[in-house]
Amino acid sequence: MIPEISNKAFGWKIKANIPASMEEAKSTTIEGVFLAIMIPVTIGTIISQGYKNRIADQLLRDKLEAMGAVLIEGPKACGKTTTAEQQAKSVIYMDDPTKQQQYRQMAQTNISFLLEGETPRLIDEWQEVPQFWDAIRFEVDHRDEDGQFMLTGSAVPVEAKEIHHTGTGRYGWLTMRPMSLWESGDSTGEISLSELFLAPDKIGALNKLTLPVLAFVVCRGGWPKALQKKTEKAALLQVTEYYKAITNSDISRVDNVKRDAERAKRIMRSYARHQGSQASIATILADISTNEPEDVSDETIDAYLTALRKIFVIEDMPAWNPNLRSKTAVRTSDTRYYVDPSVGVAALGLGPNDLINDLNTFGLFFETMCIRDLRVYADALDGSVYHYRDKNGLECDAVVHLRNGSYGLIEIKLGGEKLIEDGAKTLMALSNIIDTSRMKAPAFCMVLTGVGDFAYKRTDGVYVVPIGCLKN
């Protein structure tokens, strides 16, 4: 039997190989103990209490089997470290305040020592010491084995100049986002996005999400710690404090450039108001200029937005450019989105009741939540999510495009028969102008809704699916 060492305060336990006798211990190297000099070496997997399975779990396993090292990126508090801990055999936490300075000094003199330990070895918040990148690449080359290292980070390294190699052929990349409704347990998962690509003749599922519940999950977001709170008030406060951390410190710490917290708040509020649009930097500048004590340039706004991208708070959506029967010009500007709707809601100081009383605003943030979920699900299918808009005003909220060339067209509507009908007409209009002699026809068309009693297939072939029924 493998004993467990637990820490109730931090909510983890370790399966450790403990020698049964002193004789056995003599032949044991450093298994199941902590290396006294600087590095905690753990044997087995760190198992978080109450861990909710993530879609990224399987993606991480696949990449570890194929690559020497895997870089896991994403916003702070989305669950990167906890997910990686489920598969790690040893861990080094670079943001541990009791060892951080020692780690930095060791990185300057003998960084290979920090890479010793059972594999996969997790280097958490690796960007604190960018030298890890090249050192791991070198180590992977010489070990010539897959699944050696995992690196997690919530920011792009400041000292990118210290990275001399791309990591091509050694590193795999995995982007994590806040939890989808399927991962958080708010979706029944009765309708699978992957199965829609097979164009089933009929679908059916009941939607359990009411409008008040939907408003709450939009404001709460997909943050694992928010899900653990005992009350709705505590869950919402988690997001508020996250937003404050972004504006007060994270936006400056990412590249060691001091930025004004109040200006950051104004920019984030403007960005929230322009969710789902292709608003330009000039538009955002005009939006905040009346409250600015001094002239602000486009370059300043761009620098703030770049910082937000570096800490994975915003994630704009690229445009989809299909082959069309006519020479219609396609808009190529990215669409503005927060990585999670809760951040934008917090930036505007709104709560669930505010959304219910303002359905237009509710619709904007519902769309952001749907985009978040579609991105998570698309990752599992080896696909990407795009937006379509042409010069004639024809617009499609989301296109899930797989590497094999298959794609699905999706309109996002909070609910109501009229909006569903409008969404279906848009999907049919776009389908009709795609040149199917040069690319595949859409695998499916779907109106993704918030409220509505059930999922079904319309007579025109368009699927109507509540977000509370969807999974990857």
Per-residue pLDDT reduced to its tens digit, 156-210:
765 555 565 667 789 999 999 999 999 999 999 999 999 999 999 999 999 999 9
With respect to residue 300, please indicate whether it lies within any of the assigned structural domains: no
With respect to residue 21, please indicate whether it lies within any of the assigned structural domains: yes
pLDDT of residue 157: 67
Q: With beta carbons less than 8 A apart as the criterion, state whether 119 and 90 touch.
A: yes
Instruction: Give me the number of domains the chain comprises.
Output: 2
Q: What secondary structure letter does DSSP report for 156?
A: -
pLDDT band at 72 (very low <50, low <70, confident <90, very high): very high
pTM: 0.88
Please indicate, yes or no, whether residues 390 and 440 belong to a single structural domain of this protein. Answer: yes
With respect to residue 269, please indicate whether it lies within any of the assigned structural domains: no
* Ranges of H-type helices in 328-380: 341-348, 352-357, 359-380
For residues 335 and 277, give the distance between their C-alpha atoms in angstroms, rounded to a whole number. Answer: 5
Which tokens belong to 156? 């792009």
Please indicate, yes or no, whether residues 159 and 66 belong to a single structural domain of this protein. Answer: yes
* Domain with 152 in it: 4-175
For residues 137 and 403, give the distance between their C-alpha atoms in angstroms, rounded to a whole number. Answer: 27
Q: With beta carbons less than 8 A apart as the criterion, state whether 465 and 211 touch.
A: no
For residues 101 and 459, give the distance between their C-alpha atoms in angstroms, rounded to a whole number. Answer: 65
With respect to residue 405, please indicate whether it lies within any of the assigned structural domains: yes
Please indicate, yes or no, whether residues 152 and 203 belong to a single structural domain of this protein. Answer: no
DSSP helix/strand/coil, 240: helix
Span 448-454, mean pLDDT? 96
For residues 219 and 345, give the distance between their C-alpha atoms in angstroms, rounded to a whole number. Answer: 6
Please indicate, yes or no, whether residues 144 and 185 belong to a single structural domain of this protein. Answer: no
User: Which residues are CB-neighbours of 169 under 8 A, at least 6 positions away?
Assistant: none
pLDDT of residue 8: 33
pLDDT of residue 470: 98
Best CA proximity match to 66, nearest among 58, 74, 77: 58
For residues 337 and 419, give the distance between their C-alpha atoms in angstroms, rounded to a whole number. Answer: 22
pLDDT of residue 50: 78
Which one of 175, 190, 208 terminates a domain? 175
pLDDT of residue 59: 98
pLDDT of residue 24: 43
- Domain of 95, CATH number, reads 3.40.50
Please indicate, yes or no, whether residues 152 and 196 belong to a single structural domain of this protein. Answer: no
Which tokens belong to 257? 């450039």
pLDDT of residue 12 exceeding 90, the answer is: no
